[in-house]
Structure 1
């Protein structure tokens, strides 16, 4: 069984490109401490004492980083998009814990408000996530 522990990245070795759906190879860039992909033209630098590969990009506001396990890349800093399902379930659970007691304690004369409120409370966080993590 291959080791899951991160291995030090050697700048003189070729690696597969960590970008998803790419079949490129990372090759060292001469006279620099960087590597470039021969297919997607992305440039990567080695950080954290040689254990983390970080993508250089001016168009993406959050830096992507990976660790080499000896046979594949794994995300160094998992982002919110990697944990979308647990975060989404957590948001729904919090909304239900807040909305349900309010709905049960209120007079049912204003049922339109209680129908619009949970929809608004679910759409606003989803819209905020969409705007924050769009490319």
Structure 2
């Protein structure tokens, strides 16, 4: 199956709402924006007319979609705009720096404490990612 190409968003066309609430996007006169008749969300056209971005949002990252002819496709944020690199950096930092410190400890009772701290610090980035991407 051939991937569909992104199409430029026409400001004079009626589109379905990308929020999947069965609404319709209605162009707002004299602007490069749309409003949904069902969910009352506002959307603006970005990136030379190829990306529709939600204006009012509760998410830490702006939600955006691309029109591929018959439906909206979610436009993924760039790699640097997500918590994933931060989470991976923290986890690898724990493995590289904390594990050797815990193994060099002369008192074996401290190993349990070091392991508990390392696990807690590894869970924090996972919790941040989960909180960010949950609906």
Q: What residue is the counterpart of 1:4 in the other structure?
A: 4
**CA RMSD in angstroms, aligned pairs only:** 3.5
Asked if the contact 1:33–1:45 (Cα under 8 Å) also holds between the matched residues in 2, the reply is: yes
Partners of 1:56 and 1:89 in 2: CA distance: 27
Q: What residue is the counterpart of 1:25 in the other structure?
A: 24
TM-superposed deviation, 1:74: 2.2
User: After superposition, where does 1:1-135 map in structure 2 within 5 Å?
Assistant: 1=1, 3-19=3-19, 21-57=20-56, 62-78=61-77, 90=88, 93-94=91-92, 95-107=94-106, 108-126=108-126
Distance change >3 Å, CA 47–CA 111, structure 1 → 2? closer
Partners of 1:132 and 1:5 in 2: CA distance: 29
Q: TM-score, normalised by structure 2?
A: 0.69
TM-superposed deviation, 1:39: 1.2
Q: TM-score, normalised by structure 1?
A: 0.69
Distance change >3 Å, CA 79–CA 8, structure 1 → 2? same
**Structure 2 unmatched ranges of 5 or more:** none
Partners of 1:111 and 1:58 in 2: CA distance: 44
Distance change >3 Å, CA 105–CA 11, structure 1 → 2? same
TM-superposed deviation, 1:104: 2.3
Partners of 1:5 and 1:71 in 2: CA distance: 11
Distance change >3 Å, CA 128–CA 2, structure 1 → 2? closer
Partners of 2:100 and 2:52 in 1: CA distance: 48
Partners of 2:15 and 2:63 in 1: CA distance: 17
